[in-house]
């Protein structure tokens, strides 16, 4: 009976949490493990506090805090050594063996040497024993993603609280029987059981796909120091510990006065932890998860300083014994439940391999060093200065205020951390530049520059351009003597960028080399370094070497001031008159280096000529010297595939004055390709008028045009780095597309079970329409918000892999207002997904889908619906008699359907 009830309860829980069968088993095991760990830890805390207060008194606690901090630092260092040598599993085992060893020794030695054992036990319980819990949470974070963590972690936390409750109860009521010695032996037994359970769980986890674990070469400290987010997180954790330690110290001062007898004190602490854990459990199961979802992460975390403030106020106002105890319980409940869960979720924004490295270190070290800081502060205040409890309360309130400020920063950095995760598809140029300066990058560059492989040297030379290191500069210069002309050309290019002098005057000799790119690089370098570049260039321009002439013009094109001095219209006209393709290309290129209106007429002639390459070069020059007078010749070139790219650049360079001409291509009279090209060009122009034209597309009733509009607007957003729409407009457009997404996704899902190719075509078309709507929706958001993470969010949201959407939802939940995100979570949260699925029954979902497709204005979707109607038994095809319009796709299918029905 009880077994059946338990099984039903487990089934309900599994459904509620959307767990697989093997995950349920894992959850049970982890629940059991965390219960035993908390039970053991609670017994350890009871013993630690009771023994210490009895043996040394509350005023000695600050020394205890310092001792614990030093011991914690030592254990963390030792653990990091172990982690560097072994994988994480090895480090966890080490911790467990150490804990079991210590507890056994303490239990054995306590009757003989009470005083020293008490001191060592206090230090051990506050340092090494604490490290067992972070390892458990690190294990849990590996198993579940961030969205499921919000539902599973409170449950695991509840299991821990039940364990804590049991531990406290055992300590409270078994002490008269087993005494404190017996409690110590019980602690050892529990630690041995937890170790055995951990081994079982690890074997169970081995069946799942594991990331490749490699020995680490970067220390936890290096990871912490290089991340702003982790530093702010550590600061937030430290302040929470400082405040809770101050609160706890004041509480113990108060309690010690009430319980002078050591056994009574032990029993009191046992009962205190029972009450604390019981209240925490009730809170966790009732309001904990609900608060997290309703208020969000930031406000939930903010409840902690509020409850701490209540305790301080209660104590300061001289509340009675029960008042102080009650408020201490409330403060303890909030810290233990919401505090722990939210801290674990803040860790989710750290990358998994870094999280595994730093979490135990941050959890333990921040806790203990914060305790030590409190210890030192209390020693100074109480022993050195000799202040009273009122001053202690004021100090506590000050720390509370600082903590609230840090929490605000932490919340902001949390959103940024996810933004970064979703955006990292490429390395930003400034990040690449910074990365070139690191010692390891310098070493790699030097190795590359001295390598035997030519392509490796060329790559190293390109990367060296960002370096300012002298040794690298010397290595670059030495590449001038390399036998390969490609390497020498790359070296000359790097020397030009790095502004390195050619001490050996080797480069002028390269002008006589047969290798074209080497000559080109030499021309550029010599022009860049010459005191009289115009004179030097004129020599090449008037010379007999056409290749050198071309290189000179190309170099002058990139150096307009020297170009204006060296090139003349007379020289250009001579080239134009010569009329050969080579001369025309050189003339076209040279016109790009000229200023004024004179080049425009000549460019018009070249742009209208027959040679594609000449027109291409002329377009590049037109982009350099934009003029609205050239619009009439540029627009037709925009539609030529072979010249479209260059023409787009030339038209964009004209700017806002080109918008009316581009609007004429947007109306569709020149075809869809012209619309696309015009939209892309408008996106490059990015002026307010251009954005206005693109908005017309984004608000169109045709999905294809809206698609084009949003993609172009996103391009504007990226190029200008400024929002292109008001936030409210972006939200409105997003919700419209989200509604479309849902409208198309439901029929796609309902048709999933039907195998007929025609129905599969309809289902896939619905899904395609849904994904397009989703992409448009995120494109609408990108008109206000950062586009890069939204692009990453789209890829994850459309993925059908479980757990892939979690980081995207985490990010959207953080940046969007709650009333907007609610619409997203309704569609994408796991519980919502179940609600959207309908049982697949032949006939009905198909008929509904066909009707839904017919109601849309999408010709292709309608055509697929007509096609699929052959499989909808009992479907009334008279629906197709109305509203078919003149869409050729639909008409073709209707005709085929009639012909089929006629033969049947």
Partner 1 sequence: MLTPAERVMILRAADLLKDAEPRHLLGLAEVAREIEILKGDCLYREEDPADVLYMVVEGRVRLSTGGRTMSEVGPGEAFGTWSLVDDSKRGHRSDCVEDGLTLALHRGEFYDMAAGDLTLLQGIIRLLAKRLRALVLERPGEARVEGEGVEKPEAVVEAESAAAARPASGGD
Write out the binding residues for partner 1, residues 653-692 only, by CB under 8 A: 673, 676
Q: How far is CA 711 from the centre of its chain?
A: 22
How many CB atoms lie under 10 A from the CB of residue 516? 13
Does 791 contact partner 1 by CB under 8 A? no
Q: Residue 757, interface with partner 1 (CB under 8 A)?
A: yes
Of the pair 483, 641, the CB lying nearest partner 1 is at: 641
Give the per-residue SS3 of 480-524: HHCCCHHHHHHHHHHHHHHCCCCCCCCHHHHHHCCCHHHHHHHHH
Only one of the segments 302-310, 579-587, 650-658, 757-765 lies at the binding site for partner 1 (rule: CB under 8 A); that segment is 757-765
Q: Give the relative orientation of helices 454-464 and 470-478 as an angle to the nearest 10 degrees.
A: 140
Q: Where are the alpha helices (DSSP H) in 110-145?
A: 114-126, 132-143
Q: Using CB under 8 A, which of the segments 153-161, 409-417, 572-580, 761-769 binds partner 1?
A: 761-769
Q: Which of 560, 860, 870, 884 binds partner 1 (CB under 8 A)?
A: 860
Residue 343 near residue 366, CB atoms below 8 Å: no
- Find the part of the chain contacting partner 1 (CB under 8 A) among 185-193, 251-259, 284-292, 863-871: 863-871
- Span interacting with partner 1, options 148-156, 202-210, 542-550, 818-826, rule CB under 8 A: 202-210
**Residue 213 binding partner 1, by CB under 8 A:** yes
Give least dist CB 705 to partner 1, A: 14
The distance of Cα 25 from the centroid of its chain, to the nearest Å, equals 31
CA distance 167 to 187: 9
Q: Which of residues 335-374 bind partner 1 (CB under 8 A)?
A: none
Distance CA 203, CA 17 (A): 23
Question: Among residues 24, 93, 114, 204, which is the contact residue for partner 1, using CB under 8 A?
Answer: 204
Q: Does 867 bind partner 1 (CB under 8 A)?
A: yes
Nearest to partner 1 of 594, 774 (CB atom): 774
CA dihedral 764→770→772→775, nearest 10 degrees, is -140
Q: Which is nearer to partner 1, 465 or 768 (CB)?
A: 768
Residue identified by tokens 């022009």 is: 527
Among 29, 498, 833, 847, which residue sits at the site for partner 1 (rule: CB under 8 A)? 29
846 near partner 1, rule: CB under 8 A:
no
Contact 809, 828 (CB under 8 A): yes
Note the Cα 679 to chain centre separation in Å.
31
Contact 546/585 with Cβ under 8 angstroms? Answer: no
Instruction: With contacts defined by CB under 8 A, name the span among 125-133, 265-273, 396-404, 891-899 that binds partner 1.
Output: 891-899
Work out which of 381, 397, 506, 761 binds partner 1, going by CB under 8 A: 761
Stretch that binds partner 1, among 118-126, 208-216, 618-626, 692-700 (CB under 8 A): 208-216
Q: Decide: is 25 part of the binding site for partner 1 (CB under 8 A).
A: yes
- Tell me how far apart the alpha carbons of residues 138 and 87 are, in angstroms, rounded to a whole number: 14
Query: What residue ranges in 506-609 does DSSP mark as E strands?
Result: none
Contact 486, 517 (CB under 8 A): yes
Query: In the block, which residue shows the tokens 């029929």?
Result: 747
Which of 433, 768, 829, 844 touches partner 1 by CB under 8 A?
768
Does residue 892 interact with partner 1 by CB under 8 A?
Answer: yes
Is the CB of residue 747 less than 8 Å from the CB of residue 766? yes
Binding of partner 1 at residue 759 (CB under 8 A)? no
User: Is-contact 35 197, C-beta < 8 A?
Assistant: no
Residue in the structure block whose two tokens are 């002639």: 605
Is 167 buried (19+), middle (13-18) or exposed (0-12) by CB count in 10 A?
A: buried
Q: Which is nearer to partner 1, 281 or 713 (CB)?
A: 713
Among 110-118, 205-213, 318-326, 529-537, which window interacts with partner 1 (CB under 8 A)? 205-213
- Residue 767 Cβ vs partner 1, minimum distance, rounded to whole Å: 8
Tokens 């045009």 belong to residue: 705
Looking at 864, 871, 872, 880, which residue binds partner 1 (CB under 8 A)? 864
Contact between 889 and partner 1 (CB under 8 A)? yes
Is residue 639 a contact residue for partner 1 (CB under 8 A)? Answer: no
State which residue, 327 or 850, has the beta carbon closest to partner 1. 850
Closest contact distance (angstroms) between CB of 208 and partner 1 is 10
User: Which part of the chain contacts partner 1 (CB under 8 A), choosing from 259-267, 315-323, 577-585, 755-763?
Assistant: 755-763
Contacting residues for 567 by C-beta, under 8 A, at least 6 apart: 541, 553, 556, 590, 593, 594
Residue (210 or 570) nearer to partner 1, CB: 210
CB-based contacts of 701: which residues, under 8 Å, 6+ apart?
857
Q: Is 331 helix (H, G, I), strand (E, B) or coil?
A: helix
Site for partner 1 (CB under 8 A): how many residues?
31
Gyration radius of the chain over CA positions? 36
With CB under 8 A as the contact rule, the residue among 765, 791, 849, 869 that binds partner 1 is: 765
Is residue 852 close enough to count as binding partner 1 by CB under 8 A? no
In angstroms, the CA 266 to CA 539 distance is 98
Is residue 206 a contact point for partner 1 (CB under 8 A)?
yes
Asked if 313 touches partner 1 (CB under 8 A), the answer is no
Among 389, 719, 764, 876, binds partner 1 (CB under 8 A): 764
Could you say which residues in the range 52-91 bind partner 1, by CB under 8 A? 87
* Beta carbon of residue 213, minimum distance to partner 1 (angstroms, whole number): 6
Whose Cβ is closer to partner 1: residue 563's or residue 787's? 787
Residue of 4, 209, 215, 440 that binds partner 1 (CB under 8 A): 215
CA distances from 336 to 141, 304, 333, 340, 798 (A): 18, 10, 5, 6, 37
Q: Closer to partner 1 at the Cβ: 181 or 895?
A: 895
Nearer to partner 1, 390 or 799 (CB): 799
Q: Which is it for the CA torsion 174, 101, 124, 367, positive or negative?
A: negative
212 belongs to the binding site for partner 1 (CB under 8 A): yes
How far is residue 165's CA from residue 169's CA, in Å, rounded to a whole number? 6
Query: Would you say how long the chain is, in residues?
Result: 904
Residue 755 interacts with partner 1 (CB under 8 A): yes or no:
no
Residue 215 vs 728, nearer CB to partner 1: 215
CA distance 7 to 11: 6
- 718, 688 contact by CB (below 8 A): no
Residues 505-544 that bind partner 1 (CB under 8 A): none
Cα–Cα nearest to 58, from 243, 244, 251, 247? 251
The answer to the question of residue 863 lying near partner 1 (CB under 8 A) is yes
Q: What Cα–Cα distance (Å) separates residue 404 from each residue in 244, 371, 408?
A: 14, 19, 7
* Integer CA distances (angstroms), 531 to 493, 518, 534, 562, in order: 19, 22, 9, 11
C-alpha closest to that of 148 among 272, 21, 18: 18
* Rounded least distance, CB 863 to partner 1, Å: 5
Please report whether residue 200 would count as binding partner 1 according to CB under 8 A. Answer: yes
Which of 758, 782, 783, 805 is the binder for partner 1 (CB under 8 A)?
A: 758
225 lies in the binding site for partner 1 (CB under 8 A): no
Residue of the chain from 641, 688, 817, 874 that contacts partner 1 (CB under 8 A): 641
Is 244 a residue that touches partner 1 (CB under 8 A)?
no
Binding of partner 1 by 819 (CB under 8 A): no
Tell whether residue 742 is a contact of partner 1 (CB under 8 A): no
Going by C-alpha positions, the residue among 564, 633, 575 that lies closest to residue 605 is: 633
Distance of closest approach, residue 91 Cβ to partner 1, in angstroms: 14
Summarize as ranges the residues that interact with partner 1 (CB under 8 A): 25, 29, 87, 200, 203-204, 206-207, 210, 212-215, 641, 673, 676, 757-758, 761, 764-765, 768, 860, 863-864, 867, 889, 892-893, 895-896
């Amino acid at each position: 009976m009880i077994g059946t009830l338990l099984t039903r309860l487990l089934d309900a829980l599994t459904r509620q949490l959307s767990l697989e069968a093997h995950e349920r088993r894992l959850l049970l095991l982890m629940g059991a493990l965390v219960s035993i760990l908390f039970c053991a830890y609670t017994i350890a805390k009871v013993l630690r506090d009771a023994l210490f207060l009895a043996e040394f008194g509350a005023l000695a606690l600050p020394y205890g805090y310092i001792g614990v901090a030093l011991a914690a630092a030592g254990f963390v260092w030792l653990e990091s050594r172990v982690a560097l040598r072994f994988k994480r599993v090895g480090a966890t085992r080490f911790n467990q063996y150490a804990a079991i060893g210590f507890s056994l020794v303490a239990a054995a030695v306590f009757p003989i040497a009470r005083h020293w054992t008490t001191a060592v036990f206090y230090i051990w319980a506050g340092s090494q024993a604490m490290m067992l819990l972070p390892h458990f949470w690190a294990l849990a974070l590996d198993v579940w993603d961030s969205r499921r963590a919000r539902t599973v972690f409170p449950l695991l936390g509840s299991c821990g609280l039940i364990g804590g409750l049991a531990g406290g109860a055992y300590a409270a009521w078994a002490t008269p029987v087993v005494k404190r010695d017996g409690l110590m032996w019980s602690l050892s037994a529990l630690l041995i059981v937890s170790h055995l359970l951990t081994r079982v769980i690890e074997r169970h986890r081995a069946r799942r796909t594991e990331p490749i674990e490699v020995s680490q070469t970067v220390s936890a400290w290096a990871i912490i120091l290089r991340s702003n987010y982790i530093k702010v997180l550590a600061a937030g954790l430290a302040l929470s510990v400082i405040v809770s330690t101050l609160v706890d110290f004041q509480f113990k001062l108060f309690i010690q006065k009430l319980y002078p007898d050591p056994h009574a004190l032990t029993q009191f602490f046992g009962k205190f932890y029972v009450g604390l854990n019981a209240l925490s459990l009730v809170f966790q199961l009732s309001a904990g998860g609900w608060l997290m979802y309703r208020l969000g992460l930031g406000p939930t975390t903010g409840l902690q300083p509020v409850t701490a403030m209540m305790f301080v106020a209660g104590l300061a106002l001289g509340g009675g014994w029960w008042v102080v105890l009650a408020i201490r319980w409330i403060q303890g409940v909030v810290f233990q439940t919401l505090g722990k869960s939210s801290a674990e979720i803040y860790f989710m924004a750290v990358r998994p391999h870094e999280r595994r490295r730093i979490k135990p270190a941050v959890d333990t070290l921040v806790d203990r060093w914060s305790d030590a800081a409190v210890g030192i502060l209390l020693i100074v205040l109480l022993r050195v200065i000799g202040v009273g409890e009122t001053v202690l309360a004021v100090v506590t309130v000050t720390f509370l205020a600082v903590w609230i400020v840090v929490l605000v920063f932490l919340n902001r950095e949390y959103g940024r951390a996810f933004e970064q995760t979703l955006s990292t598809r490429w390395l930003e140029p400034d990040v690449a530049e910074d990365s070139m300066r690191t010692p390891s990058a310098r070493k790699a560059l030097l190795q590359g520059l001295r390598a035997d492989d030519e392509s490796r040297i060329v790559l190293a030379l390109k990367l060296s351009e960002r370096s300012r290191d002298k040794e690298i500069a010397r290595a670059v210069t030495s590449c001038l003597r390399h036998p390969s002309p490609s390497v020498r050309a790359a070296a000359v290019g790097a020397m030009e960028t790095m502004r390195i002098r050619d001490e050996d005057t080797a480069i002028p000799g390269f002008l006589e080399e047969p290798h074209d790119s080497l000559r080109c690089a030499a021309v550029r370098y010599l022009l860049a370094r010459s005191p009289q570049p115009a004179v030097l260039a004129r020599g090449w321009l008037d010379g007999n070497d056409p290749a050198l002439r071309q290189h000179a013009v190309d170099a002058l094109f990139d150096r307009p001031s020297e170009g204006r001095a060296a090139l003349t219209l007379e020289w250009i006209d001579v080239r134009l008159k010569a009329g050969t393709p080579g001369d025309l290309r050189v003339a076209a290129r040279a016109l790009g280096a000229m200023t004024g209106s004179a080049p425009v007429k000549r460019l018009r002639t070249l742009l209208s000529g027959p040679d594609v390459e000449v027109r291409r070069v002329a377009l590049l020059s037109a982009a350099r010297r934009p003029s609205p007078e050239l619009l009439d010749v540029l627009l037709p070139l925009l539609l030529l595939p072979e010249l479209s790219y260059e023409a787009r650049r030339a038209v964009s360079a004209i700017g806002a004055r080109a918008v009316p001409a581009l609007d004429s291509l947007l109306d569709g009279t020149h075809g869809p390709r012209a619309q696309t090209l015009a939209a892309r060009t408008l996106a490059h122009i990015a002026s307010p008028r251009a954005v206005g034209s693109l908005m017309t597309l984004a608000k169109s009733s045709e999905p294809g045009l809206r698609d084009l509009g949003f993609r172009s607007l996103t391009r504007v957003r990226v190029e200008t780095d400024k929002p292109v729409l008001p936030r409210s407009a972006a939200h409105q457009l997003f919700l419209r597309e989200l509604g479309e997404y849902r409208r198309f996704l439901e029929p796609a899902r309902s048709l999933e079970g039907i195998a007929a190719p025609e129905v599969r075509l309809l289902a896939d078309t619905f899904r395609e329409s849904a994904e397009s709507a989703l992409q448009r929706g995120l494109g609408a958001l990108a008109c206000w918000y950062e586009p890069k993470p939204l692009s990453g969010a789209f890829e994850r949201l459309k993925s059908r892999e479980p757990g892939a959407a979690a980081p995207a939802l985490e990010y959207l939940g953080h940046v969007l207002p709650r009333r907007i995100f609610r619409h997203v979570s309704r569609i994408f949260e796991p519980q919502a997904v179940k609600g959207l699925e309908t049982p697949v029954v032949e006939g009905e979902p198909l008929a509904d889908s066909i009707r839904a497709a017919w109601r849309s204005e999408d010709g292709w979707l309608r055509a697929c619906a007509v096609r699929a109607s052959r499989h909808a038994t009992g479907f009334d095809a008279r629906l197709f008699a109305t509203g078919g319009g003149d869409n050729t796709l639909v008409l073709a299918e209707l005709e085929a359907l009639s012909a089929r029905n006629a033969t049947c």
